[in-house]
Amino acid sequence: MIFIPFWYGAAVMMYHTIIRREEIFYFYKKCVSLYRGLNRGLTNWRMLCIIVDCYNSCIIQ
């Protein structure tokens, strides 16, 4: 469980270092809110799918 948030945070920080746009930051904050609001009952693979899907939507935007 510790590895997933670290990987997600590192990936997002690396991405923001390369491309800095206000829209990206806005979507990142939405992603963080979604991530923090996740239920603990979710399985690891389900949580990972949500995080990856959210991160991909940030990249597309």
Percent of the chain with pLDDT over 70: 39
Are 44 and 4 in contact, with CB atoms under 8 Å apart? yes
Check whether 41 has a pLDDT greater than 50. no
- In Å, what is the CA distance from 28 to each residue of 4, 11, 45? 16, 11, 21
What's the rounded mean pLDDT across residues 37-43? 55
Q: Are 2 and 33 in contact (CB under 8 A)?
A: no
